[in-house]
């Protein structure tokens, strides 16, 4: 073999070994049974899944959402980039949630499309994505102010003279005989109170600087299970902007062993504000409020200069604490988001798509192999090997790049297989034409490849340019199609121009050839 032939052989072998290396994690992961995956250490399984080819929503199932950013309460300046900021925050939350290869893209002015492949916990994902994350620190009103607020509300309902007035907030409180420091109601009574207040605006009843909010979940007070309604100062002492969001971490409540929560550290300005607020209000409760719900309301025992704070409560477990920490780290949405459309794609649908795609691919491949071998004989076998290598290289590129394989991507893969066959047909027909013109086998092969190369290169170049435009300006599924098409065409140029030519050169270098099987 000549030096050129040896270099071609080394190139083909090297590329094939690299492709096998990058495809091995995919083979390992998708050949494992569910039991084997369960037995594998979580860290190793996560790393293996990360290295394997990712399957899109249409292949493995998952959740698809169409969200709308509500800009009604934003100023024109704030609304200008609200959708872009919401997309970035949602993307950060989803990344920390652990979804592999999510698709998050803008649709129109106010809408965001979200695809979460392989997601199983639908409710948790929707709550995590849609949470506005408005974090506020507000002072709880004094016991005297709390009782006065409840008396005003009771008087309002009594004046309405409705059936709801048969119940009184003060009467429903289990500790009415004592001075109220908070509105605590049994679980069943809390439902009555909520119904009484449903559709009622308390702004005209309470002082303008006072508001009423429910606590998060149920609590236990002196052996009674119920919910707490807090009477708060309307103006926040501090907001989420005072929190160093990157430092929000899951942890156990030091004052209540075994209770989960989220610990936070303040920014330099936040530490100064926190020290001021706690120093001026020793003995009072400071409510920590997220999206209009009081998460906890610890009593201020002393001035806190360190800026360390925590959000704890009876309803927190490790899962909800992790989600809250994710939301705080990712930041607050600039405006509320509404779910306009929700679609859940089951894994069975993805499995059917894969099975049907594999079946169609096998049938099409068998027909192509049969035609190439019968019509072009041994040269057809070489073309088939090149086609198989072409597919092998494309899958390896998907595994290496971390791209997601979708049904449109499979369509791009099938199209490159067709282009591979077409390329070899062009070359073989050129060689046949030269043989009919009386050329020797060596001359026919050289001239056939040389003269077909321009046509092959032009066809592949125009296809790649078109695919680049699709990839640049298309949406997710179109990008997947363009990605596999681009790399498939490049791999096809390599296998058609380098691999098959190397086979002919190696065969012809062994001695005088009397006949070419083509």
Question: What residue spans define the domains of the chain?
Answer: 3-21+346-509, 136-332
- Edge-to-edge strands of the sheet including 111-117? 103-107, 111-117, 62-69, 337-345
Exposed (0-12), middle (13-18) or buried (19+): which is 374, by Cβ within 10 Å? exposed
Domain 3-21+346-509 grouped into CATH 1.20.1640.10: yes
Mean pLDDT of 26-49: 83
- Give the E-state strand segments of 218-300 in sequence order: 219-221, 224-233, 238-239, 249-252, 260-265, 286-290, 293-296
At 410, the pLDDT band (50, 70, 90 cuts) reads: confident
Say yes or no: do domains 3-21+346-509 and 136-332 share a fold: no
At 407, the pLDDT band (50, 70, 90 cuts) reads: confident
Instruction: State the SS3 of 409-436.
Output: HHHHHHHHHHHHHHHHHHHHHHHHHHHH
Q: What does the alpha-carbon distance between residue 445 and residue 436 come to, in Å, rounded to a whole number?
A: 12
Question: DSSP secondary structure string, 354-379?
Answer: HHHHHHHHHHHHHHHHHHHHHHHHHH
Residue range 294-337, pLDDT digits in tens:
888 888 888 888 777 776 655 567 777 777 777 666 666 777 88
Q: pLDDT at position 138, please?
A: 93
Fold of 136-332: Gyrase A; domain 2 (3.30.1360)
Contact 173, 180 (CB under 8 A): yes
Q: pLDDT at position 164, please?
A: 47
Of residues 311 and 78, which shows the higher confidence score?
78
Smallest Cα–Cα separation from 422: which of 463, 393, 471, 473?
463
Q: What does the alpha-carbon distance between residue 326 and residue 322 come to, in Å, rounded to a whole number?
A: 6
Residue range 150-191, pLDDT digits in tens:
888 888 877 775 554 456 676 677 665 555 556 888 888 888
At 255, is the secondary structure helix, strand, or coil?
coil
């Amino acid at each position: 073999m000549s030096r050129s032939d040896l270099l071609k052989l080394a190139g083909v072998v090297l590329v094939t070994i690299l492709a096998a290396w990058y495809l091995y994690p995919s083979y390992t992961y998708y050949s494992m049974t569910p039991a084997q995956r369960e037995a594998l250490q979580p860290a190793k399984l996560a790393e293996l899944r990360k290295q394997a080819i990712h399957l899109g929503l249409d292949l493995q199932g998952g959740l698809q959402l169409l969200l709308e950013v509500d800009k009604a309460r934003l100023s024109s300046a704030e609304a200008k980039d609200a959708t872009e900021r919401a997309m970035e925050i949602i993307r950060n939350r989803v990344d920390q949630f652990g979804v592999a290869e999510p698709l998050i893209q803008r649709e129109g002015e106010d809408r965001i499309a979200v695809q979460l492949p392989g997601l199983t916990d639908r409710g948790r994902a929707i709550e995590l994505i849609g949470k506005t994350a408005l974090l506020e620190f507000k002072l709880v009103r004094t016991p005297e102010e709390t009782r006065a607020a409840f008396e005003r509300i009771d008087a309002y309902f009594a004046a309405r003279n409705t059936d709801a007035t048969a119940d009184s907030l003060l009467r429903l409180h289990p500790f009415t005989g004592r001075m109220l420091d908070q509105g605590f109601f049994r679980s069943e009574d809390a439902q009555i109170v909520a119904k009484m207040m449903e559709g009622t605006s308390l702004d005209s009843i309470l002082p303008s600087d006072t508001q009423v909010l429910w606590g998060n979940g149920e609590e236990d007070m002196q052996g009674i299970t119920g919910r707490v309604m807090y009477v708060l100062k309307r103006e926040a002492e501090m907001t989420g902007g005072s929190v160093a969001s990157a430092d929000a971490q899951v942890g156990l409540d030091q004052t209540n062993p075994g209770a989960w929560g989220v610990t936070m550290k303040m920014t330099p300005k936040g530490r100064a504000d926190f020290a001021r607020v706690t120093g001026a209000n020793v003995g009072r409760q400071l409510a920590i409020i997220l999206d209009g719900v009081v998460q906890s309301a610890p009593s201020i025992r002393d001035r806190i200069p360190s800026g360390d704070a925590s959000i704890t409560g009876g309803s927190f477990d490790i899962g909800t604490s992790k989600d809250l920490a994710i939301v705080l780290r990712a930041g607050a949405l600039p405006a509320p988001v509404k779910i306009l459309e929700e679609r859940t794609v089951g894994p069975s649908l993805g499995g059917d798509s894969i099975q049907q795609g594999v079946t169609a691919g096998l049938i099409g491949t068998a027909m192509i192999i049969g035609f190439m071998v019968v019509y072009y004989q041994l040269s057809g076998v070489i073309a088939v090997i090149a086609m198989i290598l072409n597919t092998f290289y494309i899958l390896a590129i998907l595994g290496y790049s971390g791209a997601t394989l979708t049904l449109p991507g499979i369509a791009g893969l099938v199209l490159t297989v067709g282009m591979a066959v077409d390329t070899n047909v062009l070359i073989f027909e050129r060689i046949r034409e030269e043989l009919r013109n009386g050329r020797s086998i060596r001359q026919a092969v050289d001239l056939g490849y040389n003269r077909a190369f321009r046509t092959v290169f032009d066809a592949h170049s125009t296809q790649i340019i078109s695919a680049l435009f699709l990839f640049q300006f298309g949406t997710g599924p179109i990008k997947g199609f363009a990605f596999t098409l681009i790399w498939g065409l490049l791999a096809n140029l390599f296998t058609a121009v380098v691999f098959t030519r190397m086979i002919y050169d190696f065969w012809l270098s062994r001695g005088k050839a009397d006949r070419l099987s083509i």
